[in-house]
Structure 1
Amino acid sequence: MGLTTYLEQAKQGVWDVRAAFLPQQYFDSVTGSGAAAVLLPPQPQPEAAAEAVLAGLDGLILTGGLDVQPELYGAERHPLTDPARPDRDAWELALLRGALRRGLPVFGICRGLQLINVAFGGTLHQHLPEALGTERYRIGGGVFAENTVVVDDRTRLAGMLGAGPFDVHSYHHQGIDELGEGLTVTARTDDGLVQAFEAPGDEYLVAVQWHPEENSADRRLFTGLVAAASVYRDRRVEALA
């Protein structure tokens, strides 16, 4: 299972170098769900690298992180939008495009949901406190807020979590404005904000605005992805045979 990462300055002993960075909760969620975790830091030639990397994967997770560049969806930069990280945006967009071509299962988390929405032609609210008048989704200090989303019935998400209210961990100040073309909303909060979507049809594309990796007692979203990845792997083996 591939998980996208940043390249960040990191210290270990006498070393102070740029390194792939991803909180351990992400790969614990993958390995705890029966899959191996493969970290995917940005590459200097993203399109070519994505094709090479995806050939060895059975699933892809677009993880959380800093804000997607508003220039990618034609918006002026808000003063509180994070500094651009074009290396990661280009890398994840290349991975997403390649995964969709292959029918590779994809799971987006927080920033991952936002990037998928932009890739499908959607837009984002750059600062939800201005758009919705609330700080309920990012209380700050590295503390995850608790919110309740409502999962729609007869969706892939409901098949994993059940329909109705579901408590989640939130840490984001941006969110979906216009939904990308071809995506279906599968969960919202009571203020109407999109909290999850999926692509209809047989291909596995699921994204959530919250952080399921923060709840080690409930890994159903990860086990669901691993199950889809197993089906993809079996089909690939059959095709090669």
Structure 2
Amino acid sequence: MSQRTKGRRDLEDRLGYVFTDKTLLDVALTHISALSGKARVESYQRLEFLGDHVLGLIVSDMLFREFPSAEEGELSRRLADLVRRETCADVARTLDIGVAIRLGVSEANAGGRRRTAILADVCEAVIGAVFVDGGYPAACAFIERLWTERMRAPKRPLRDAKTVLQEWAQGRGLPTPTYREVARSGPDHDPEFRVVVELPDLESAEGIGRSKRAAEQAAAAAFLGREGVEAAKQNA
């Protein structure tokens, strides 16, 4: 048995799913940096696109059944927490997917196997691969096994920092906070954003994140922290 075959089999054991078409798993693990000029469609990007939507559908169904009394707003907040990049990356770390990702030399040397963005993308690509290989039932079983506990015990407050800041501002007769991107750095596949949040007559606050949304949340959290408001304590 080759090392590659053994590595794939070990990963399938951790995934709890054995692929009929092994090439689907290989593609799901292939970062664009490993392709050396080959077509982008040979990377995980197409499967990531599919897996992102499969994950959203199945988690939405899980939430709908698990919380029959929850209103649409609560379901949306729970869904956003469960499908966010950080949650997907945490699942990838739980499965130790990083060791199996195919990366270019420079990306590997830069720590790509530990990057949240790459781990999250590959996690979604694996979901897409399971869906293509085994259909909805296989994808559903895979996601339920890995997301049910996270759904029942969310690690973050359901009311995020931006929501808490908006409510805090409204309670003081202030307008809705405004967010402004002030800088963007890093490569296109793994950018870093710096965002400022502003309210009239108050000092602005900055936040940094791997997405514009994450940077906005970080800025809101920084603003709340400076004003002595803890977002986590605002959880309903």
Question: Fold-level match, TM-score > 0.5?
Answer: no
- TM-score band by shorter chain is under 0.3
Higher helix fraction (1 or 2): 2
Larger CA Rg, structure 1 vs 2: 2
Higher strand fraction (1 or 2): 1
